[in-house]
Amino acid sequence: MQIHPRSIAHKVFDIWRSPGRFTKNPDIIALPSGRLMLIYADTDSHWSQENQILTLLASDDGGRAWFKHREIDRANLQQGDERLVTPRLSRLHDGRLAVIIDHDDHGHFHEDQPPGNWLYWSHDNGDTWTTAQKPAIMGFEPDRILDLPDGRLGVASHIMRGETQEFAVILTCSDDGGATWYEAATIADNGYHRFCEGAIVLLDDPGAVGGQGLACILRENHHAGIPSFVTFSQDSGQSWSSPQMCPFAFDRPYAKQLPDGRVFVSGRHVNGPLGTYGWRGDLKSEAGAYQIGGPRRRYAARLVDGALVIDNLPGHEARYCLLPPESARSEVRMEATLKVEGRPGQPAAFLAISQLGVALQIAVDGVWTRHGSDFRTAVDMSDYRSVAIHHGRGLLRVQVDGETVINQCVFREDKPIGDSRRAGALSGYTQFGQAQTGGRSHWRRLSYGARNPNLDDFEWSWEASSGAYPDEYQRRRMIQIHGNHPEQPPAPDHGYSSWLLLEDGRIMWVDYTNYGDPAGSSHLVGVYIEMEDII
424 pLDDT more than 80: no
Say what the pLDDT of residue 2 is: 57
pLDDT digits (tens, 9 = 90+) for 48-60: 999 999 999 999 9
Helix (H), strand (E) at residue 156? strand 153-161
CATH class of 9-123+134-291+477-534: mainly beta
516 pLDDT more than 60: yes
Say what the pLDDT of residue 423 is: 36
68 pLDDT more than 50: yes
- Name 535's Cβ contacts closer than 8 Å, sequence gap at least 6: 280
Given this chain, do its domains 9-123+134-291+477-534 and 301-467 carry the same CATH topology? no
483 pLDDT more than 90: no
Answer for the pair 98, 137: CB distance below 8 angstroms, yes or no.
Answer: no
pLDDT digits (tens, 9 = 90+) for 233-292: 999 999 999 999 999 999 999 999 999 999 999 999 999 988 999 999 999 999 999 999
Say what the pLDDT of residue 179 is: 97
Say what the pLDDT of residue 487 is: 76
Nearest Cα to Cα of residue 256 among 479, 483, 473, 497 = 497
Evaluated on CA atoms 503, 56, 198, 233, the torsion sign reads negative
In this prediction, residue 486 has a pLDDT band, given cuts at 50, 70 and 90, of confident
CA distance 386 to 400: 6
Say what the pLDDT of residue 185 is: 98
484 pLDDT more than 80: no
pLDDT digits (tens, 9 = 90+) for 312-355: 999 899 999 999 999 999 999 999 999 999 999 999 999 999 99
81 pLDDT more than 70: yes
Say what the pLDDT of residue 425 is: 61
Say what the pLDDT of residue 490 is: 82
488 pLDDT more than 90: no
3 pLDDT more than 80: no
Percent of the chain with pLDDT over 70: 97
157 pLDDT more than 70: yes
In this prediction, residue 15 has a pLDDT band, given cuts at 50, 70 and 90, of very high
Answer for the pair 491, 19: CB distance below 8 angstroms, yes or no.
Answer: no
CA distance 288 to 309: 30
In this prediction, residue 297 has a pLDDT band, given cuts at 50, 70 and 90, of confident
Nearest Cα to Cα of residue 170 among 179, 180, 182, 157 = 157
Q: What is the pTM of this model?
A: 0.96
- Name 326's Cβ contacts closer than 8 Å, sequence gap at least 6: 192, 355, 450, 452, 453, 454, 455
In this predicted structure, which of 143-152, 253-262, 268-277, 459-468 has the lowest mean pLDDT?
A: 268-277
In CATH terms, is domain 301-467 a member of 2.60.120? yes
CA distance 298 to 314: 9
1 pLDDT more than 70: no
Q: Tell me the three-class secondary structure of 306-348, residue by residue.
A: CEEEEECCCCCCCEEEECCCCCCCCEEEEEEEEEEECCCCCCC
CA distance 180 to 158: 19
Average pLDDT, the chain: 95
Say what the pLDDT of residue 421 is: 44
Residue 286: C-alpha distances to residues 248, 283, 377 (Å): 10, 5, 43
Answer for the pair 122, 133: CB distance below 8 angstroms, yes or no.
Answer: no
Nearest Cα to Cα of residue 27 among 61, 52, 56 = 56
Say what the pLDDT of residue 105 is: 80
Sequence spans of domains, the chain: 9-123+134-291+477-534, 301-467
420 pLDDT more than 70: no
Residue 195: C-alpha distances to residues 190, 221, 223, 230, 325 (Å): 9, 7, 11, 10, 17
In this prediction, residue 373 has a pLDDT band, given cuts at 50, 70 and 90, of confident
- What residue spans of 457-520 are helical by DSSP H? 472-477
Percent of the chain with pLDDT over 90: 90
Say what the pLDDT of residue 459 is: 97
CA distance 25 to 83: 14
Answer for the pair 498, 90: CB distance below 8 angstroms, yes or no.
Answer: no
Average pLDDT of the residues in 401-405: 97
